[in-house]
Structure 1
Amino acid sequence: MSQVIQLMQKQRISWLDIAKGIGIYFIILGHTLSDPSVPGCGTLHEYLYSFHVPFFFILSGLTAKCGQNEFSGFLIKKLKTLFIPYLVFGILSIIIFRLAGAFAHSALMHSDGDFSLASNLLNLFILGDLQFNRSLWFLPCLLLMELLAWPFLKWEDAVWGRENSCFRALAFLAVFILAWSVAGHAWPLGIQRFQVEIAMLPYLFAGMLLVPVLRIPFAEFRMRFAAFITGAALVGLGLWLWILCPVHYNREIGFTIFAPFTAIVALVSSLGYVGLSAALLAGRPIEYAGRASLVIMCLHKFPVVFFQTCLPFTAMPLARMNYVVGTSVALACLLLCVACYFLISRFCPFLLGRLSFHPRTAKK
């Protein structure tokens, strides 16, 4: 296992948490926006959806490792840290929304309205697509992707004992071609769920290819300045490419699409925000949100629906070009979820795959 990964096991890298904090805010902001099919109402929504999920998979690739254990140990660890939270928050979602019933249904976005228990359980355990908390799909998707990447990481570790950039570049190219070849087609229902994993896998490998970035001493001002200039340039380039992109996100396409141009847009924009995050280096509130990103991913749908149900003027706020309301609602949802993360970490750490409360990872 590489020295970089071993170091990361002992201490967190601040700018990675900052990047996760920025990314999770983009996720929440995207979920407060309008239906992009309404003309002129979904521009910012479409831009965020062009990269914010790939951004998270790239960050996951940066920290991906096979560990010292065999596959069984790796699997158990991933089940504890990804599947248990998915299962717990999924069941919690079913209970809350079944109790809320019609009260919440009118505010649910991208929901087909099927509240039957059988349908809920089918979507939770088989399809990985719970209608009223669809953000949960990220956890089983990441779990399956890391399981697919494990043989590659294990082979690399056995042959070279560390990350090999040439090997990773070839692997990235291979999964890029695979995703381009098979994703987006009509798959049989039984294996349809794997479309998303195949479409997102290149981003995980892109993050694995970028591991040398973790060695850059961003504590030095000149390196932070270079990261800022590079990040800003890439964000601008990503925005320009997105404007030129012939296909933008919509709810019919979802995340099953994978085409070279859309992938390049996502990669360039994501790398830009990685650079900007590294330039910040220290930002305690954003960093803390990044540490809580998994819980926020699982829970943020609840406050979003609460605001949209109890305070109608906040529903789809950016569709009415009220950026102050929209960003404020997203920030309020973020803060509520961070508070929940602190309580869960302190009193129910087993829900996050931990045996005990770790102050170092819950606050700093």
Structure 2
Amino acid sequence: MEGKTTARSDAAGTKLPWVDVAKGLGILLVALGHLTNGDGQSVWLPALAELHYDLYLFHMPLFFFLGGVVLHVRGRDFGSFARRRARGLLVPYYAFSLYYLLKPVALALAPSLGESLAVEGTQDLATSAFDVLVMGEGLWFLWAYFWGQLLAFLVLRALAGPDDEGAGERGHVLACALVGVLLVLASQLWWTVGPEVKLPLCLLRGMEAGGYILLGVALREALARVPRWALVPLALALAVALGLVAHRVMPDLYVTQEYVALFPDGESPALSLAVLQAALMLLLALAGTLAVAFLSLALGECGPLRELGRRSLVLYALSAPSMNLCKLLLFSLAGVDLHDAPFAAQLGVGALLALASVLVLVPVERLIRRRLPFLLGRRRER
């Protein structure tokens, strides 16, 4: 359609094609992020350190936001919605997060292995099991997305009028956006000035996820009205703005998986500064998220990326081990050393590694979906 995005056209009639394209791009960004080591350091491709830094500002909020774009609650029962989300998110969490226990299990069975592999600072098995099974620190995104979906569902129902179940989605865009912003800011403030208490099962991250989901709900109609000719310029402008703010305007940002700060690690800021930091984090996350959204809208029915997006759950779950295997083959076994290579060369190799680590998982995803659907909380088709 000239001047506007295409209408909903998925086989199930529940998704916009560009959302799957955006998920496909997001999976490639996740793979790029896994080029770092376990401490988030760009050891093998040091020239990409700033790129990895930028990715952590928005690549997970992107998936939450996209979940809001396709979330509709009209005519849906909360109980059945929660059960379906639990099967589709929590079963895969516990099925695939066991990967994060392989190293502590191996070290517990063979302590000498740690010395031979020069493994330092590894948690004991009991602590690692508690973090993965109780705190939700394995594939944390899945627990956070589960809580976020439930929270967004309840907020949308609360905003809906008594005579119209869809009013919360159509008539209360500003209220929906405001609640979303407040949830994100509240979760960030907890990390910076709140009590030093970590909630189990990623409850706090679920609050933040709910905020981004509600922002996706609030902005989806606006996204549909953006003229096609403006999509690529807007994507480029937002990407440039993200880089400039992150590396020029605010070069001292401290980035973790949980929050973005303007102060050294361990220091507690004043409330006013903490609010500023939280707002800055939200703006940076939205800049990166909307940049990917606009680019995906411009790409439209991009078949390969859309296929990756449709398989995003398994690709996300296995991205880390797949990339670790690719890094092992290239940097350790093949002995490739790119520390002094120019940025363009490191970026090219990094992009190829990210693409390879994702593509090798496509047949694995097909196998799981057809033969092992219980790993995804589904029944095997007869």
TM-score range, shorter chain: 0.7 to 0.9
Q: Which amino acid aligns with 2:177?
A: A
Question: Once the two structures are aligned, what percentage of the paired residues are identical?
Answer: 26
Q: Does 1:309 align with 2:328?
A: yes
Counterpart selection for 1:230 from 231, 234, 239? 234
**Cα pair 1:107 1:308 within 8 Å, conserved:** no
Q: Which residue in 2 is equivalent to 1:340? A: 364
Pick aligned residue for 1:286 from 301, 305, 312: 305
Instruction: Report the CA distance shift for 1:229/1:308 in structure 2 as closer, same or farther (over 3 A).
Output: closer
Q: Per-residue CA shift, 1:149-180, capped at 9, x if unaligned?
A: 22112223454432131321332343244335
The 5 Å alignment of 1:132-147 reads 136-147=139-150
- The match for 1:62 is 69
Aligned residue number for residue 83 of structure 1: 90
Q: 1:40 to 1:78 in 2, by over 3 A?
A: same
1:29 pairs with 2:32: yes
Superposition TM-score, scaled by structure 1 size: 0.80
Amino acid paired to 2:243: L
Aligned to 2:211: 202
Give the conservation status (yes or no) of the 8 Å contact 2:241–2:287. Answer: yes
After TM superposition, give the deviation of residue 115 of structure 1 in Å: 5.0
The one-letter amino acid of 1:183's match is: W
Deviation at 1:318, TM superposition (A): 7.3
TM-superposed CA distance for 1:345, in Å, is 1.5
- Between 12-21 and 98-107, the greater mean CA deviation after superposition: 98-107
Corresponding residue number in structure 2 for 1:240: 244
Q: For the Cα contact (< 8 Å) 2:21–2:305, is it kept in 1?
A: yes
Instruction: Write out aligned runs for 1:1-364 (5 A).
Output: 9-33=12-36, 35-36=40-41, 42-66=49-73, 68-94=75-101, 98=105, 102=113, 112-114=121-123, 116=125, 118-130=126-138, 136-159=139-162, 160-162=164-166, 163=169, 164-185=172-193, 187-189=195-197, 191=199, 193-213=202-222, 215-216=224-225, 223-243=227-247, 244-250=249-255, 253-257=256-260, 259-313=278-332, 321=343, 322-356=346-380
What CA RMSD, in Å, does the superposition of the two structures yield over aligned residues? 3.5
Query: Larger % of helix: which?
Result: 1
Task: Give 3-state SS (helix, strand or coil) of 1:210's partner.
Answer: helix
Which structure's CA Rg is the greater one?
Answer: 2
Q: Does the C-alpha gap of structure 1 residues 302 and 157 become closer, same or farther in structure 2, counting only changes over 3 Å?
A: same
Which one-letter code corresponds to 1:275 in the other structure?
F
**Corresponding letter in the other structure for 1:242:** A
- Flag the 1:254–1:247 CA change in 2: closer, same or farther, 3 A: farther
1:26–1:351 CA distance, 2 compared to 1 (3 A): same
How far apart are 1:63 and its partner, in Å? Answer: 1.9
Moved more, 55-64 or 162-171: 162-171
AA aligned opposite 1:335: L
CA contact (8 A) 2:20 2:310 kept: yes
1:8 deviates by: 8.6
TM-score (norm 2): 0.76
1:260 and 1:43 map into 2 onto residues whose CA distance is 21
- In the alignment, structure 1 segments of 5+ residues that lack a partner are 131-135, 359-364
Relative to 1, partners in 2 of residues 1:24 and 1:172: Cα closer, same or farther, differing over 3 Å?
A: same
Inter-partner Cα distance in structure 2 for 1:211 and 1:291? 19
Q: Which moved more, 1:312-321 or 1:197-206?
A: 312-321
Displacement of 1:40 in angstroms is 6.4
Contact persistence 2:58–2:286 (CA under 8 A): yes
Quick one: structure 1 residues 352 and 311, their matched pair in 2 at CA, closer, same or farther if it must change by over 3 Å? same
